[in-house]
Amino acid sequence: MRIGIVGAGVVGSLIARELCRYDVEVIIFEKASDVGMGVTKANSAIVHAGYDDEPGTVRSKFCVPGNAIYSELSKELQFDLKRIGSLVLAFKDEELKTLEELYKRGEQNNVPGIEIWDRDKILAYEPNVNPEVIAALWAPTAGITEPWMVAMAAVENAIQNGAKLYLNTEILDISTVDGKIKKVITNIGEFEVDALVNAAGMYADEIAKKAGAEYVPLHPRKGEYILLDKQEFGGFVKSVLFPTPSILGKGTLVTPTVDGGILVGPTAVDLPPEKEFREDTSTTFEGFEALMSKALRMTPLIDFRASIKTFAGLRPESPQKDFFIGRTSVFGFFNVMAMRSPGLTAAPAIAKYIVEEIQEAMGENFTTKKDFNPLRERIKKYAELPPALWDEEIRKDPLAGKMICFCNKVTEKEILEAIKKGAKTIDGIKFRTRAMFGSCQGGFCMHRIMKILARELNIDISEIKLRSEKSQILNGRVREI
């Protein structure tokens, strides 16, 4: 059986890896130039505990199981996961009532270890929280990760186990015969498939339309973020801090990132469904004002003069505000759409569910591969090794000691390993190694990385792109020397 997957975000990537456990042919179609560069790339990177989702929703069905899977998944795929816990802060009596409702939801959703903390316990644990806080909901299983790395690691492992990845591949049409999926027509050719999984993120409703299958209309909800320098603000908070939630979502959070920075965001602005808005990751002065105001309410000592980056991400929202997943009336077509928060958290559990759905709907019992290898090896971070081991690596290969990104201590050997793993753009290097994620945001290392990419890809440096064919970096020489 040949199974296609549309979209190599965190959901599609984990589904592909799960399918590779079995004797089926797996094909991944991704319209971007790399894995995890859509909805997956820009979000809060939180592995949620599961108390926020209303019992009985599809979200509540998959969030807590997905959270639990992450521990083993992070070990197998070697991506960073830090279970730092989360605190939902209440500053008014009516917010305290919301905490009590969230606690009850958490119990119904089987969220482990949740507690209501009083002011003294909160401030003892998080001294930079506003002392006007009156209570908080503590959830120890909440964590942080790098969503793009989850996707990249899952695709790497899927390819190791036989999957085929087609980047820069756009779905133009989907052919059905007698109500069954037959063929995927793309800009690079046609592919016959027996089943097709629609994990196309912001465009999943458009993909479902091409197949003539059921869908829910999607629109983008924009979230803007501010990143603070870890050199100045690392350790400012040690857990994920949330306000009490509203109808627009979980609210603006203050959280550590896995590499030690502090992230503030997101806003929540609903945009129209037209295509131009589904690509709108522009940032606004109004958004930053809102972020700063909300963050200062929770943590008055936060200093936005330490900001090193601002960005925006989009998540697919739908009228029912819930996931829309499973089989459809078109035989062999499966939706995994409307993956709003907590989509990242739920993804591993949804991957297992979709594989079961495919078998049941298609009347197949897949044979497990005897040689499936669940392990993926990450790029070694040489500067994190003990000095003696790092010296040994340098003796083997001097490039393990040649520093390219000084902010995040990324060596040329790490850059080369990222290229071997598929990086062909500046963002491809950045998201695989954390080069250019530091204080200078690439100001001192980007040109070095461009030279390495040009050399290894055997192209002129003017051909190096930021993230896609549309993101030219150089546009001619300033002067001849």
Query: What digits encode the pLDDT tens for the residues 248-294?
Result: 668 899 999 999 999 999 999 999 999 999 999 999 999 999 999 99
Residues carrying an active site annotation: 48
The span from the CA of 429 to the CA of 475, in Å, is 21
**pLDDT above 90 coverage of the chain, percent:** 96
Q: Is the pLDDT of residue 247 over 90?
A: no
**pTM for the whole thing?**
0.96
Return all residues near 477 (Cβ < 8 A) that are at least 6 apart. Answer: none
Q: What is the pLDDT of residue 246?
A: 73
Please give the order of strands across the beta sheet that includes 195-198: 164-166, 25-29, 2-6, 195-198, 333-337, 324-327
The span from the CA of 240 to the CA of 263, in Å, is 10
The span from the CA of 360 to the CA of 358, in Å, is 6
> Judging by beta carbons within 10 Å of its beta carbon (0-12, 13-18, 19+), is residue 422 exposed, middle or buried?
middle
**Residue 381 CA from chain centroid, whole number:** 21
Q: What is the pLDDT of residue 441?
A: 94
The span from the CA of 385 to the CA of 407, in Å, is 17
List, in order of start, the domains of the chain with CATH numbers. 1-80+143-218+318-378 (3.50.50.60), 86-140+220-312 (3.30.9.10), 382-463 (1.10.10.1100)
**Cα 243–Cα 247–Cα 252 angle in degrees, nearest 5:** 30
Contact 261, 227 (CB under 8 A): yes
Q: Is the pLDDT of residue 7 over 90?
A: yes
**Burial readout 381-406 (b: 16 or more C-beta within 10 A, e: otherwise):** ebeeeeeeebeebbeeeebbbeebbe
Token code pair at residue 228: 């603070």
Predicted confidence (pLDDT) per residue in 203-235, tens digit: 999 999 999 999 999 999 999 999 999 999 999
pLDDT band at residue 321 under the 50/70/90 scheme: very high
- What are the start-end ranges of the E strands in 10-148? 25-29, 46-47, 81-82, 86-90, 115-118, 135-139, 143-145
Q: Which residues, in sequence order, are bridge partners of residue 226?
A: 264, 310
Q: What is the pLDDT of residue 463?
A: 95
Q: What is the pLDDT of residue 480?
A: 65
pLDDT band at residue 13 under the 50/70/90 scheme: very high
The residue-averaged pLDDT of 40-60 equals: 96
Check residues 469 and 69 and name the one with the higher pLDDT: 69
Q: What is the pLDDT of residue 248?
A: 62
The three-state secondary structure class of 279 is coil
Q: What's the chain's average pLDDT? A: 96
| Residue linked to tokens 């030279």 | 451
**Residue 184 CA from chain centroid, whole number:** 26
- The closest alpha carbon to 44, from 442, 439, 342, 433, belongs to 342
Predicted confidence (pLDDT) per residue in 354-396, tens digit: 999 999 999 999 999 999 999 999 999 999 999 999 999 999 9
The span from the CA of 180 to the CA of 195, in Å, is 9
Token code pair at residue 381: 């971070």
- The closest alpha carbon to 173, from 154, 159, 187, 155, belongs to 187
Q: Is the pLDDT of residue 481 over 80?
A: no
- Measured CA to CA in angstroms, residue 67 lies from 159, 260, 347, 469 at distances of 24, 22, 9, 36
Where do the H-state alpha helices sit in 109-184? Answer: 119-125, 147-160
